[in-house]
Structure 1
Amino acid sequence: MTADNPAVQGECYTARSFMGSGEQIGQGMDRLVLAPAARRDAVLELLRSARQTITLSMFRCDDFTILDEVAAAVQRGVQVRILITQRARGWKKKLQELTLLLRSLGADVQPYQSSVMKYHAKYIVADDGPALVTSLNFTRKCFESTRDFLVFSEDPDVVNGLKMLFEHDCHTPTAPLSGITNRLIVAPDQARQRLTERLRYAQTSIGILDHRVTDPEILALLREKQSNGVPVKVIGDVRIDGLVAHGRMILIDGVTAIIGSIHLSPPSLDARREVALVIDQAPLVARLYDYFQTMAGNEANIMNLWPSGLPEEDEEDEEDE
């Protein structure tokens, strides 16, 4: 993250090339995958590693290699449990067909039952770890042509927290949520409060990659931080290096990253089940910071936080998410 880093200066590097050739980044409890070419194989590897259980939270899936791996897991005796949304724009029939297909493969499929909240969380747990928290859907589009993030974690608190969340959402989806590790940020129960606190206490910089930053309270806070001298950069709905905007990331002071399905929009913060992971492992945050800087170096990619430059709020906030 130094000034002479060519990735920060934007010389010779592009956002796509800075994703890497496909390696998993990090050697501690958490590992990161950025490159589109590596995403599918990383998810398949996680599914193949399971020997007893797979816990899978799903919004969309149209990639047959993932479905084939679910079938293979069942065939080798792995219990596969899937919690799936019942609401995705343009996918009503597809979700019904997907649910039937997954059940025919031998998976235990539970449609999310809350009539109030839309289900949008995206994660996988294999056995007692590792776990995956991601911003992508298990679709061909997200595996190949979007800006998205996959974080694999061996942290027992993260693994157990996701398992606890899964059981809660399968059996008592409308009940208050408690007892989840602080490494997980879960909407709508705690996301607004916790993300607002993180942004409010930022001292040196705020970087956001999110194409739906529309929440009035969040926007007011970002403008306040900017007016008080904290650099704030938001990269919104722009295509960069051929990759479509989809993933969500928040960087605070260059030392903390937050990655997951949560948008900084009213529906995502207040009315949807979402999950994000807090990352403070220095090598991963540094890589994410440098990746962000390759895009933020071009002023055309930065969203204007003042009213004339803001996107219109989408109350549904559902399209292609």
Structure 2
Amino acid sequence: MPKAKTRAAAAIPATEQLVLDPAERKNALLGVIGSARRRLVLSLFRCDDFTVLDALANALERGCEVEAILTKRAKGGKKRLKKLWGALEEMGAIVTRYADPVVKYHAKYVVADELSAIVTTLNPTRKCFSRTWDAVLVTEDPSVVKGLLTLFRADAAGTPLPSRRPISRRLIVGPERSRSEIRDLIAGAQTSIRILDHKLSDPGLVALLKERRREGITVSVLGKHPMGGLEPHGKMMIIDESRAILGSTALSTLSLDFRREVSVVIHEPAIVKQLNMAFQQMSAKTGAAASLLPGDRIA
């Protein structure tokens, strides 16, 4: 288990850890990569941090098999992607280009030795390790680890996911299940919904959030405004201050319906409390804007 910690980590079980501090996010990722001895699988959307690439090369040098799945398309063109593909293949990694002609691969996860995993909101880039609000969840939950491996195998082989049941009780995988499961979470809220998502725009979900607000649920949204010097990037939602989801999934139509996304559901009280505290701190800096949904008139 990686040793990267946050100040609140002491109250969190050793099998699961949330890392929010920008510098520690990189340490958490490097810790999981460095722990692998047999096999490392990961999804990459962008990567320009050489310490991460060096860590992958070191894993290969110690005899660890490294498999990566990459999208074929990303904002900024294919040139950067081809450079990343080439770097990974040159060091000896097995690289799969996600084959779906419509769906872009945007999920962000790592699995080491079928024992530990990361689900994150960030890309391993210099920007996400220094200037953005993002989160890294390190977990040894077998349900998450097994689910991510099932997802990786299916996507690498180009085969569909099982349709009857989710691959993990804790993973929200899009585009197959993200819209329906996120709608269910919003519809089931009893007291409050807190959202950090600068891309919140899907008409159906915005309408549902406004409906819940009319029913008396407190709905707070952050992401459109600066947050204590950090740029908005990561996405999370907290329901009733008792459970949360975080990951790559944005509440936009493109993300929900046309991208491979992965978010993780969190019930552990200490971690949910950590996310609530972070949200409250950012909300205090944003002020009244946190109560606005897309389409609301500013008084």
Query: TM exceeds 0.5?
Result: yes
Kindly provide the amino acid, as one letter, of the partner of residue 305 in structure 1: L
Cα distance in 1 for partners of 2:200, 2:24 equals: 28
- Where structure 2 has 5 or more consecutive residues not aligned to the other structure, the ranges are none
Q: Aligned to 2:62, which of 76, 87, 95?
A: 76
Aligned positions, number: 292
Cα distance in 2 for partners of 1:91, 1:29 equals: 38
Q: Classify the secondary structure of the residue corresponding to 1:224.
A: helix
- Would you say 1:302 and 2:281 are equivalent positions? no
Q: Is the 8 A contact 1:22 1:33 kept in 2?
A: no
Q: Aligned to 2:192, which of 197, 201, 205?
A: 205
Kindly provide the amino acid, as one letter, of the partner of residue 154 in structure 2: H
Q: Aligned to 1:45, which of 3, 10, 31?
A: 31
Q: Is the 8 A contact 1:117 1:271 kept in 2?
A: yes
Q: Classify the secondary structure of the residue corresponding to 1:102.
A: helix
Cα distance in 1 for partners of 2:111, 2:264 equals: 14
Residue-by-residue CA offset, 1:32-54 (whole Å, 9 max, x unaligned): 00000101111111101001000
* TM-score calculated relative to the size of structure 2: 0.93
The residue number in structure 2 matching 1:55 is 41
Q: Is the 8 A contact 2:235 2:249 kept in 1?
A: yes
Q: Is the 8 A contact 1:24 1:32 kept in 2?
A: no
The residue number in structure 2 matching 1:148 is 134
Structure 1 stretches of at least 4 aligned residues deviating more than 3 Å after TM superposition: 19-25, 173-179
The residue number in structure 2 matching 1:132 is 118
Q: Classify the secondary structure of the residue corresponding to 2:127.
A: helix
The residue number in structure 1 matching 2:268 is 281
Residue-by-residue CA offset, 1:53-111 (whole Å, 9 max, x unaligned): 00011100000000001110000000000001111111410101110110000100101
The residue number in structure 2 matching 1:161 is 147
Cα distance in 2 for partners of 1:35, 1:89 equals: 26
Cα distance in 2 for partners of 1:186, 1:29 equals: 22
Cα distance in 1 for partners of 2:53, 2:294 equals: 44
Q: Is the 8 A contact 1:24 1:31 kept in 2?
A: no
Identity of aligned residues (%): 44
- Would you say 1:264 and 2:251 are equivalent positions? yes
- Where structure 1 has 5 or more consecutive residues not aligned to the other structure, the ranges are 1-18, 311-321
Q: Classify the secondary structure of the residue corresponding to 2:76.
A: coil
Kindly provide the amino acid, as one letter, of the partner of residue 35 in structure 2: S
The residue number in structure 1 matching 2:228 is 241
Residue-by-residue CA offset, 1:253-311 (whole Å, 9 max, x unaligned): 0000100000001010111000000000000001111111112234254152252459x
Residue-by-residue CA offset, 1:220-268 (whole Å, 9 max, x unaligned): 1110111111100000222211100000000000000100000001010
Q: Aligned to 1:102, which of 81, 88, 97?
A: 88
Larger CA deviation: 266-275 vs 82-91: 82-91
Q: CA deviation at 1:135?
A: 0.4
Cα distance in 1 for partners of 2:55, 2:294 equals: 47
The residue number in structure 2 matching 1:90 is 76
Cα distance in 2 for partners of 1:120, 1:111 equals: 12
Q: Is the 8 A contact 2:235 2:248 kept in 1?
A: yes
